[in-house]
Amino acid sequence: MEEIRKKTIKGIKIRSLNLIMLSVSCILYILLICTTIQSMRRYDNMVSTTNQHIACEEIISLVANGSNYLTEQVRLYTMTFDTKHLDNYFTEAYTTRRRDTALEKLKEYHTDGSVYAYLSSALENSNQLMEHEIYAMKLISTAQKQDTAALHENIQNMALQTADQNLSAEEMTEKARDLVFGPDYQAAKADIMDDIDYFVDSVIEHTQQNQTESSLVLKRSLVRQQVLISILFVENLIIFFLIIRLIINPLQVYVKNIKEDKRLEFVGSYEFKYLALTYNNIFELNAANELSLRHQAEHDPLTGLINRGAFEHLRQLFAAKQSPLAFLIVDVDKFKQVNDGYGHEMGDRALQKVAHLLEDSFRSTDFPARIGGDEFAVILTDLTANPKDLVLSKINAINRTLQNPSDDLPALSLSVGGAYSEVGFTDDLYKKADAALYQVKENGRCRFYDEASDHIE
């Protein structure tokens, strides 16, 4: 039966709830970590794109500055005829090589072929323009009759066209200047700058597109993070609420029940309800055992009446109460003869019969007790007057029953001494009742102690 009751217990199991909450938390934390990693990657991508844009601007600057530097040096040479400008020109073209360095760096930052093609085209056009610049420098060096051996090999190897060989020094100088300052040269420089501008526009477009995509993904990741954090916060609130409802509140209730010595209420989780059921079973068993032990401690095992110890406790209780009561001492006449003549078993049955008659004859508010071997006592409470006449009639009725037995027990009689008190169980009440009993001993009668004349009636 107990096992059936335990199986029918319903409630949330803390272990199951803990596993569920732990699983949900792990999933949420994993998702949060994945989202955070994604956000970090997008952030790194945005930083990388920005750095790439900055690098591309540096590359553009290298190409433009390199190309413009060459133009500047060749023009200065055509105007001043100073060969140091030739040295600067070829140092930039073949040693410093800012334009070529820019393309090499571009390969590190860009994989977009179309973007790379714009800068390659600008460099190719710049290289083609170098042919005109070197030819112009050849014309100037020839017109100035400079030492050819001291010039750069590119100038040495550059051959003048047949028509230009017959030009005068002034004409050669004029043509050289026209080659680096004329409209064709300016158009070629414009084409180079257009390619650079296209490259700049492509880089800016690529950067903006990449940053837009990264920012959108980063924004979505941040939104997911906010959602996951909110869910974790709500989950923590739910866990906090469940802990209070399923654990803390039941513990408080159980502590209160235990302090008040009550059965535990069925509250909280499955485990607490199971605990309450087990505790209540033990509580009921202990209560039953305590009641049984108390009954055994307070009652005579033979007759079932209260024993001497309980009787003494009642004396003290009614002594403090100071309300009207009567006290009877009841003695079974010639009980020793019955016990010796018929045996102890018959004597025990006789005592049980007397106890039964005393218990049936008096009220539930009265207290019959066995205070010795064949000696009984009765405390009568809730009295308004001396009950000696009523007690006499009851004892006479009991004696008639005992003297005319309907069973196999021998005829018996009771001698009763009584005393009445209006102020509770006084110290001399027992003596007065005992004195009254002494006067009627072995006569099967009942007498009360008379307070007014200080004698027995």
Residues known to be catalytic: 374
| 301 SS3 class | coil
Long-range contacts of 434-438 (CB under 8 A, 24+ apart): 434/329, 436/329, 437/329, 437/331
Strand partners, 327: 379, 419
The gap between the terminal CA atoms of the chain, to the nearest Å, is 63
Nearest to residue 223, comparing CAs of 39, 43, 42, 46?
39
CA atoms within 13 A on the CB side of 57: 8
Q: What are phi and psi of 97, to 5 degrees?
A: 50, 50
Q: How far apart are CA 441 and CA 34, in angstroms?
A: 103
Residue 260 DSSP code: T
Numbers of helices and strands, H then E, in the chain: 16, 6
DSSP assignments along 86-144, one per residue: HHHHHHIIIII-HHHHHHHHHHHH---HHHHHHHHHHHHHHHHHHHHHHHHHHHHHHHT
Q: How far apart are CA 153 and CA 84, in angstroms?
A: 15
| 175 SS3 class | helix
What sign results for the dihedral spanned by CA atoms 232, 233, 238, 242? positive
Task: Judge residue 9's burial from the number of C-beta atoms within 10 Å of its C-beta, 0-12 exposed, 13-18 middle, 19 or more buried.
Answer: middle
Q: How far is CA 197 from CA 107, 183, 262, in A?
A: 18, 20, 91
What is the bridge-based pairing of β-strands 414-421 and 446-450? parallel
For residues 42 and 217, the answer to whether their CB atoms sit within 8 Å is yes
Q: How far apart are CA 176 and CA 160, in angstroms?
A: 12
| 287 SS3 class | helix
Q: How far apart are CA 329 and CA 439, in angstroms?
A: 12
Strand partners, 379: 327, 367
Instruction: Output Rg (C-alpha) for the chain, integer angstroms.
Output: 63
| 322 SS3 class | coil
